[in-house]
Amino acid sequence: MIRQYDYGWVQNIIKYLKMVPPDYDLSRVLLPVALYYGKNDLLVGTPDVDRLAEKLPNVVKKHLVDNDKFNHGDFLIAKDVVPLLYSHIVDVVNEYSRFDPSPPITSTFQPSSNRDSSSSQTWFSISTQPATPSSSSKFSNINCWFYSVILLVKLLL
Q: How far is residue 91's CA from residue 104's CA, in Å, rounded to a whole number? A: 9
Name all contacts of 115-124 with Cβ < 8 Å and 24+ positions apart.
120/79, 121/79, 121/157, 122/79, 122/82, 123/154, 123/157, 124/81, 124/82, 124/86, 124/150, 124/153, 124/154
* Strand ranges in 46-153 using DSSP code E only, listed in sequence order: 59-64, 106-111, 122-127
pLDDT at 148: 54
CB atoms under 10 Å from CB of 17, counted, come to: 8
Q: Which tens digit of pLDDT belongs to each residue from 40-94?
A: 999 999 999 999 999 999 999 999 999 999 999 999 999 999 999 999 999 998 8
pLDDT at 153: 52
Strand partners for 122: 111
Q: Which tens digit of pLDDT belongs to each residue from 107-155?
A: 555 544 444 444 444 444 544 444 444 444 444 445 555 555 555 555 4
pLDDT at 97: 78
Q: At 96, is the pLDDT very low, low, confident or very high (cuts 50, 70, 90)?
A: confident
Strand partners for 61: 34
What is the percent of the chain with per-residue pLDDT over 90, rounded to a whole number? 55
What value does the mean pLDDT of the chain take? 76
Enumerate the domain spans of the chain.
25-156
58 three-class SS? coil
**Ramachandran class of 74: left when φ > 0, alpha when ψ lies in -120 to 50, beta otherwise:** alpha
pTM for this structure? 0.61
Q: At 2, is the pLDDT very low, low, confident or very high (cuts 50, 70, 90)?
A: confident
